């Protein structure tokens, strides 16, 4: 580039590699020249099309398409101090629940020209906090997060720098954050009501880490259902696991079989645990649901395809991700003055063969 040439923000003056026959890729000035408009007008077409007349918009878009012009988003981000990226921080992407949440987030973000960067924490708080540091450094537009344990302090720093923050599948005070979540207390209550309605006498709860709000809320709902039925909440037999995997469900059955009296019903706080419990019971010759009724939570696709189709408490997984992203994008223009919103979905019961042979 000569001394008299200045590269405008938003323009990439790209050249083909040496020895290549390919033509240099077009810059924003060339688009403006051929369209007969200013560089600023081309910038508006790319970033604020509502500010451009329909005739000008059509003319510029024709030139862009003819030249195969690719705008330099990196330079635009440098000008605004904010990227078009949204971070999605989840505890465990191996859980199909979060895969569906991610699909909803990606679709909602894409409709507004944003991309989603997935950060998988593997249930590790240090890894979660490390991801938040990286997202802060990258000046992401916003963060969607299903936090592990307490709400991390890194979220406040992100918001102080102008990034939006929305909690996914986790509620918070409206004065703190917007959130999209499911009423997990109600979900736990519905699960136990279903098992009691089948005549269950000894009910076990196979739970995940109680530091997770979802696990503690589902347990609270289960106990509430027992109390409402005139039973002691202490009647609930609980096995707590550090993870919520199929393997953890298999291991939980060893503890259940070691009891003086085996439960006749098991409520698991996610479907992976329930699939593990069902598998382990089959291996020791216990019939599901004849000897033990088993149900899970989340109603992932795998639940219906299990060897014994699984009764489960369903959550609107895709909608959680989609709505959380819509809340985030709504906050971005407002910054610190944004009004927070809380969306709470209701869970629903899907009955299959694992609790009754004739659902």
Please give the residue range of the domain that contains residue 54.
1-80
* Pair of tokens at residue 39: 């560089």
Q: Quote the pLDDT of residue 76.
A: 52
Q: What is the band of 32 on the pLDDT scale with cuts at 50, 70, 90?
A: confident
Q: How many other CB atoms are found less than 10 A from the CB of residue 228?
A: 12
Q: Residues 254-293, buried b or exposed e (16+ Cβ, 10 A)?
A: eebeeeeebbbbbbbbbbbbbbbbbbbbeeeebebbeebb
Residues 259 and 300 in one domain: yes
Co-location of 311 and 271 in the same domain: yes
Provide the number of structural domains found in the chain. 3
Looking at the fold, whether 302 and 188 belong to one and the same domain comes out as: yes
Q: What is the pLDDT of residue 26?
A: 61
Confidence of residue 126 (pLDDT cuts 50, 70, 90): very high
Domain termination residue (choose one: 80, 110, 145): 80
Question: Are 338 and 300 in a shared domain?
Answer: no
For strand 311-314 and strand 348-350, is the pairing parallel, antiparallel, or unpaired?
Answer: antiparallel
Q: Tell me, what DSSP letter sits at residue 338?
A: P
pTM for the model: 0.76
Longest dimension (CA), the chain: 88
d(Cα 71, Cα 209) in Å, to the nearest integer?
46
Burial of 53 (0-12, 13-18, 19+ CB in 10 A): exposed
Range in 9-13, 207-211, 341-345 the model is least confident about: 9-13
């Amino acid at each position: 580039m000569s001394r008299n040439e200045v590269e405008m923000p938003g323009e990439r003056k790209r050249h083909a590699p040496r020895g290549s026959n390919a033509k240099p890729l077009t810059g924003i000035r060339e688009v403006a020249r051929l369209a007969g408009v200013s560089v600023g007008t081309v910038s508006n077409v790319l970033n604020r099309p509502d500010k451009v007349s329909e005739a000008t918009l059509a003319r510029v878009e024709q030139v862009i398409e003819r030249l195969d012009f690719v705008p330099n988003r990196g330079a635009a981000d440098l000008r605004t101090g904010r990227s078009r990226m949204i971070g999605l921080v989840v505890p465990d992407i191996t859980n199909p629940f979060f895969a569906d949440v991610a699909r909803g987030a990606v679709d909602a973000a894409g409709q507004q020209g944003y991309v989603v960067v997935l950060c998988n924490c593997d249930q590790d708080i240090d890894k979660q906090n490390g991801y938040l540091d990286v997202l802060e450094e990258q000046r992401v537009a916003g963060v969607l997060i299903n936090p592990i344990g307490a709400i991390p302090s890194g979220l406040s720093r992100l918001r102080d720098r102008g990034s939006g923050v929305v909690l996914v599948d986790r509620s918070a005070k409206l004065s703190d954050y917007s959130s999209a979540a499911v009423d997990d207390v109600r979900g736990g209550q519905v699960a136990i009501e279903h098992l009691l309605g089948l005549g269950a006498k000894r009910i076990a709860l196979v739970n995940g880490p109680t530091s997770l709000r979802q696990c503690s809320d589902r347990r609270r709902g289960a106990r509430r259902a027992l109390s409402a039925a005139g039973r002691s909440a202490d009647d609930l037999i609980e096995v707590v696991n550090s993870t919520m995997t199929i393997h953890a469900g298999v291991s939980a059955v060893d503890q259940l079989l070691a009891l003086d009296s085996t439960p006749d019903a098991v409520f698991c706080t996610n479907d992976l645990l329930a699939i593990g419990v069902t598998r382990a019971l089959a291996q020791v010759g216990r019939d599901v649901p004849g000897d033990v009724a088993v149900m899970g939570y989340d109603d992932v696709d795998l639940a219906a395809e299990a060897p014994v189709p699984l009764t489960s408490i369903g959550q609107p997984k895709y909608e959680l991700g989609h709505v959380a992203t819509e809340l985030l994008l709504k906050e971005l223009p407002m910054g610190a003055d944004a009004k927070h919103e809380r969306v709470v979905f209701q869970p629903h019961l899907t009955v299959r063969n694992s609790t009754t042979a004739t659902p």
